[in-house]
Amino acid sequence: MKLILLGPPGAGKGTQAKRLQDRYGVVQISTGDMLRAEVSAGSEVGLQAKAVMEAGQLVSDDILIRMLAGRIERADCAPGFILDGFPRTVPQAQALDAMLTSKSMQIDMVVELKVDDAALTDRIAGRYTCKACGAGYHDEFQKPVIAGVCDKCGGTAFVRRADDNRETVGARLAAYHAQTAPILPHYAAQGKLREVDGMADIDAVTVELTALLDTLVAA
Ligand code: ADP
Ligand code: ADP
Ligand code: ZN
């Protein structure tokens, strides 16, 4: 299974990708997580990306395309993958097609998680993750069962992203509409695009997604 999860910042891509990777035995590839790891490591790429990310803009296609090419070569991608946050521009989508074609592979399905801009600001402003295992939470919409304790690993330290603030959200949404939404017709033309209502609650979105993906597994 080779899936692309598309949608604006805060749509629920990461939340759903984590659930789907457990269910289907494929890996989540989050380019945002990969870039944040480069920033933390203080690598060359990280140094170039940090300010761009904090301003809510997109990191250059060149960097992202090289990063993704290296990632999908790795053995853990053989059973399949879920791309979360890539492609985000038309040149990235074209490079991905070329990359996969050269390996005689192709994307099976592209799912757009549709969420209104108004709901995204609250999702992003309330987002946090477990420092130890990366499990995602929300101040209102996805609280741990025991306050302050990660459901998955029992960790008690949590982190918030530097770009998850109300000031940067506007720039990130503008980047989505101007640079990422134009890739939807690219996949619609290939007959691969499906829509899921991302305004529904987290479990309901998972039910809709798995109904779509089960058709791929059964095929
Ligand atoms: P993305 O990866 O698309 O940026 P996330 O999966 O990180 O989005 O979700 C953003 C925030 O919104 C997280 O704090 C998450 O817990 C919460 N969230 C995700 N899906 C939903 C949903 N369907 N309803 C309400 N909150 C959600
Ligand atoms: P979100 O969860 O809000 O959708 P991500 O974690 O996917 O955000 O990405 C965070 C930031 O990393 C983006 O705002 C952008 O600066 C950078 N980034 C991630 N993926 C890409 C990409 N494919 N192309 C360009 N920049 C990217
Ligand atoms: Zn944890």
The DSSP string of 41-89 is: HT-HHHHHHHHHHHTTPPPPHHHHHHHHHHHHTSGGGTT-EEEES---S
Q: What integer pLDDT is reported at residue 80 of this predicted model?
A: 95
Is ligand 1 within 6 A of the CB of residue 123? Answer: yes
Q: Measured in angstroms, how far is the CA atom of residue 102 from the centroid of ligand 1?
A: 34
Establish whether 23 is a catalytic residue.
Answer: no
- Determine which one of 13, 36, 50, 123 is catalytic: 13
Q: Measured in angstroms, how far is the CA atom of residue 219 from the centroid of ligand 2?
A: 32
pLDDT in tens, 170-206: 999 999 999 999 999 999 999 999 999 999 999 999 9
Give yes or no for residue 116 having a pLDDT over 80: yes
Confidence grade of residue 46 (pLDDT, cut at 50, 70, 90): very high
Q: Measured in angstroms, how far is the CA atom of residue 141 from the centroid of ligand 1?
A: 8
User: Phi and psi (nearest 5°) for 89?
Assistant: -145, 160
Question: Which H or E run includes 171?
Answer: helix 166-175
**pTM, entire model:** 0.97
Characterise 195 by phi-psi region: left (phi > 0), alpha (psi -120 to 50), beta (else).
Answer: beta
Give dist(CA 194, CA 95) in Å, integer. 21
Confidence grade of residue 111 (pLDDT, cut at 50, 70, 90): very high
- Ligand 2 pocket list (CB less than 6 A): 9-10, 14, 31-32, 35, 52-53, 56-59, 64, 85-86, 88, 92, 172
Nearest CA to ligand 2 atom 12: 32
Q: What integer pLDDT is reported at residue 139 of this predicted model?
A: 98
Establish whether 13 is a catalytic residue.
Answer: yes
Q: What integer pLDDT is reported at residue 199 of this predicted model?
A: 98
- Determine which one of 18, 161, 192, 194 is catalytic: 161
Confidence grade of residue 149 (pLDDT, cut at 50, 70, 90): very high
Q: What integer pLDDT is reported at residue 7 of this predicted model?
A: 97
Confidence grade of residue 218 (pLDDT, cut at 50, 70, 90): confident
Establish whether 166 is a catalytic residue.
Answer: no
Q: What integer pLDDT is reported at residue 140 of this predicted model?
A: 97
Q: What integer pLDDT is reported at residue 217 of this predicted model?
A: 83
Question: Which tokens is 167 given?
Answer: 């000031």
